[in-house]
Structure 1
Amino acid sequence: MNGIVREFVGLPSPTAGRAGAGGHPCQGVYHRPPGARPKTAFIAAHYNVDFSEHYLAAHLAERGYGFLGWNTRFRGNEAHFLLDHALADIGVGVRWLRESAGAERVVLLGNSGGGSLMAAYQSQAVEPNVVPVAGMRPVDAIEDLPEGDLFVALAAHAGRPEVLTSWMDASVTDESDALSLDPDLDPFDPRNGPPFGIEFQERYRAAQRARNERVTGWALDRLEALRGTRARDALFTVHRTWADLRMIDPAIEPSDRAPNSCYLGDPARANYGVFGIGSLCTLRTWLSMWSLRTSQCGAAPHLARVRVPSLVVHATADEGVFDSDARALLRALAAEDKRLETVRDGHYLPRSRPWAADLLDAWVRSR
């Protein structure tokens, strides 16, 4: 991949000023072939993960495309995420591709958690629908977002509230105590499984949803209690979020994934560790990103407004995205031109990145 031009891009955000140390809120790296101004360019962004050096960027640049690995001001700052603010920052990147980089077609690449984020971007661009979280002012910049021309969901989750709820440990009884436990719902107690019976699975899934609802109810009550005080928001922790039964029992939705594994290795060890999605939140970030009741970060409602040609690529050995997730994304897409492709690899495609780049290249060129 020698010779690929990598250009740092730092731009202002409609919702945040430049940092005192000099950094722009919106930052990324634009990859392109040397001596070329590609007419078609990809843009990839995530809720939290730094995508500036995305693993497909150089591969797609080798095939003649531009690729903007783009970060909103919430890169590494998930605890304070607000959807409408992030969409404004993605709009900055798309507009830069069209107005400065010379791209005539923009491919929105929704990878991993970015699948629902980029779906929300296109949804808002074609049919404004995103509203501020409780107590926040509207963001004018999201009323005029430049649309994407093609949409790709690559190893994409079903949405932030859905993925967190599916991974939540349903046996937690006290959100303030990382060791609180209902033994009848403990997924790591051999008496409960694996294998996990249908009755246990149903009770467990219902308890996961109930846990999400309890946190939402508490967050709303806490925000109301803060009204008129010196504090407008507050931080809190969410314990044990590596406990999807599918991670533990490979008989549930069989696939090519390794048994008893998650993105951090052994689920039992990861679940009681300190690294997890949603582990630190503000009240408003919970409501904006993680709540089943109030979040606008679920993919399905937004995919129902995505009508451009769309491709879903599912990694069959993915430890955290399952076949049912990929097929649900495909069903939710409003596009008439849509298809599902699979690759036998893990979530980050460590063995098949050139193949995936060839797949995207052929699909884009055919359109």
Structure 2
Amino acid sequence: MSKHYDRTPYLVTFTEPSSFKDTYAGPMGLVALEAHLLTPSAGPGKTVVIFMHPVGGGAYLPMVSALAKAGLSVIYCNSRYRGADSALLMEKVVADLGACVRDAKERLGFEKVVLAGWSGGGSLSLLYQAEAEDPQITETPAGDPYDLTAQKLIPADGIMLLAAHVSRAITMTEWLDPSVLDENNPDQRDRQLDIYHPNCPNQPPYSDDFVARFRQAQIDRNRRITDWVKGKLADFRAKGLPNEEYGFIVHRTMCDVRWLDPQQDPNQRPPGTCYLGDPQTVNNGPVALARFNTLRGWLSQWSYDDSRANGPACAGRIRIPAFVIGNTADNACTPSHTRRLLDGFQSGQATLREVAGANHYYFGQNDKLAEAVAHCTTWLQEQGLLA
């Protein structure tokens, strides 16, 4: 295995008509994506593995550089929303990924592309491939025109889902604090569902009945927010303000029975933790999913019923070879996510491998990282994708 590679930062740019800006600064109608090309010392080869995450920032993730050290050409491309997802539209991120794939093929000259969906990049990659094989989307969930069918997205040749979750909307809903009764006053809560409160009458290990009630209350809260969002947009449009936006906060979004009860979706994760640290702290902190929002961003990313980036549903629309890695100590994407993704594919289409004891990022686990990379390269060779 070569340990050396070259890292080349570059930009992917394209024009896109827009009636308003949803990213900071820059000229109207120009999209610029920051990308990194990692080329192994043996040369670029004919196949490239492409990573993109909706909100980006993963160019130095352990898996990205480890694949390059293993002799693979790798691109990590940030979406236009890199680092700021309050106004993020999944449909536009699909277009961003499409621009990166096209650039890799037409300018860089790679013959084969394999999508690598890491964490939240999994459902993005699946939505991209579904729209490339079976284009359907012509508008955003808010009803604004955005025609992915006209993009002529280039289908990938294979897809790898690496420590991936099923979707932003479903994952956030499963982490949404169901005890909140008033979005404008998050301290008004249902004590029966307030699992972080020391006097909550329901304590781990949780009963099946309580978990069912908890899960339904999470979905109900998501739908209440969505109803409010749609009403707000309708009011703006009725006033002749079709491009008007509104920023808002969703409080308490890291609350899951899985964090406190290791019998829920069990694996080897440390009890009482999540991938961002202490879940009770994260529940109110600034880095939890969906904390800062816009109306259109909510519908596209976080609405349980409206977001199109549903990983298992998109998997059912694609036909390329698929590879799924689950980390058995993952404290973000727990085993049910891996199973749901795998089950979304046609029978026999996807290969599953698990890395025992691996955490979400392989931080401090070079041996687990090497095992995951070996699984990837073996699968790529078996599929004839290491041209």
Report the equivalent of 1:65. Answer: 72
Instruction: Give, in whole Å, the separation in 1 of the partners of 2:259 and 2:164.
Output: 17
| Residue number among 101, 109, 117 corresponding to 1:102 in the alignment | 109
Residue identity (%): 32
**Cα distance in 2 for residues equivalent to 1:24 and 1:136:** 18
Decide which of 128, 133, 137 is 2:145's aligned counterpart: 137
State the secondary structure of the residue aligned to 1:240.
Answer: coil
The 5 Å alignment of 1:326-365 reads: 326-334=338-346, 336-343=348-355, 344-350=357-363, 351=365, 352-365=368-381
Distance 2:43 2:376 in 1: 20
Shift of 1:233: 1.5
Equivalent residue for 2:38?
31
Q: How far has the Cα of 1:24 moved from its partner?
A: 5.9
For 2:317 and 2:112, locate their aligned partners in 1 and report how far apart those are by CA, in whole Å: 19
* TM-score of the pair, normalised by structure 2: 0.90
Q: Which residue number in structure 1 is paired with residue 211 of structure 2?
A: 201
Residue type of the alignment partner of 1:158:
V
Contact in 2 for aligned 1:309/1:336 (Cα 8 Å): no
Aligned length: 366
Inter-partner Cα distance in structure 2 for 1:139 and 1:25:
19
Partner of 1:55: 62
TM-score by length of 1: 0.94
Name the Cα RMSD after superposition. Answer: 2.0
- The residue aligned with 1:216 is 226
> CA contact under 8 A between 2:195 and 2:202: conserved in structure 1?
yes
Separation of aligned partners in 2, 1:69 and 1:335 = 30
1:69-96 alpha-carbon deviations (Å, 9 max, x no partner): 0111011121111122111110111112
Displacement of 1:48: 0.7
Q: 1:266 to 1:140 in 2, by over 3 A?
A: closer
1:248 maps to which of 237, 254, 260: 260
Runs of 5+ consecutive residues of structure 1 not aligned to the other structure: none
Residue 40 of structure 1: CA displacement?
Answer: 1.2
Partner of 2:191: 183
Q: Distance in 1 between matches of 2:3 and 2:159?
A: 28
Give the Cα–Cα distance (whole angstroms) in 2 for the partners of residues 226 and 189 of structure 1. Answer: 39
Query: How far off its partner does 1:335 sit?
Result: 6.6
Verify the 8 A CA contact 2:117 2:160 in the aligned structure 1. yes
1:3 deviates by 3.6
| Stretch moving more, 294-303 or 335-344 | 335-344
Partner of 1:95, secondary structure, is helix
- Alpha-carbon distance between aligned partners in 1 of 2:59 and 2:221, rounded to the nearest angstrom: 35
Extract unaligned runs of 5+ from structure 2. Answer: 19-24
In 1, distance between residues paired with 2:105 and 2:287? 38
SS of the aligned residue for 2:117 comes to: strand
Letter of the structure 1 residue corresponding to residue 220 of structure 2: A
3-state DSSP class of the match of 1:203?
helix
Q: Distance in 1 between matches of 2:210 and 2:119?
A: 29
Asked whether the equivalents of residues 32 and 67 of structure 1 are also in contact (C-alpha less than 8 Å), the reply is yes
Deviation of residue 63 (structure 1)?
2.2
Question: CA offset at residue 131 of structure 1?
Answer: 3.5
2:271 maps to which of 254, 259, 266: 259
With over 3 angstroms needed to count, the CA separation of the structure-2 counterparts of 1:206 and 1:337, relative to structure 1, is closer
Instruction: After TM superposition, list the pairs within 5 Å mapping 1:66-105 onto structure 2.
Output: 66-105=73-112
Task: Report the Cα distance in structure 2 between the residues aligned to 1:262 and 1:175, rounded to whole angstroms.
Answer: 24
Which whole-Å deviations, capped at 9, do the CAs of 1:162-181 have from their partners, x for residues lacking one?
A: 00100000000111223221
Kept in 2, the 8 Å contact 1:48–1:75? The answer is yes
Residue aligning to 1:287: 299
Q: Secondary structure at the match of 2:8?
A: strand
SS in 1 for 2:252: coil
Q: What is residue 13 of structure 1 aligned with on the other side?
A: 14
